[in-house]
Amino acid sequence: MLYLIFSFKYSDIQKDLTILQTEKDIISRNLILKNKENYFAYINTNAYKDKIAKMSQNKKNPWEEVVFIVTKDEVDQYKKIETQDQIYTEKEPVKATFWMSNWQKWIYYVFNTDIRD
């Protein structure tokens, strides 16, 4: 008789624990669903679509003005690159043996004559 009482009570407690765990799962899933609904509602707004278009395609709306804020270091780096491109560097003249094969170079060095056509 005691065995039946304890076994029924044990199974009753297990069912209660299962129900409690299921309720906790339902609550957590409802929170997740609510967060997803809010996220998808935000994604479908025009403001979000406009933001993504601006970021991915580097575009702006007709009434907007774009201002780039940079640090002094970035400006100095840009000036350095710009001036390096403007510096005139004299190219080294192409040597007479540049396009010659190895045996042609030997003849050029030994006899000082260019045998190319």
- Cα separation, 53 vs 49, in Å, equals 6
Per-residue pLDDT, 112: 86
Contacts of range 57-60, beta carbons closer than 8 Å, 24 or more positions apart: none
Mean pLDDT by 10 residues, the chain (117 residues): 89 94 96 94 89 81 80 79 63 81 90 82
Closest CA to 104 of 13, 95, 85: 95
Per-residue pLDDT, 51: 85
Per-residue pLDDT, 59: 78
Per-residue pLDDT, 87: 65
Per-residue pLDDT, 14: 94
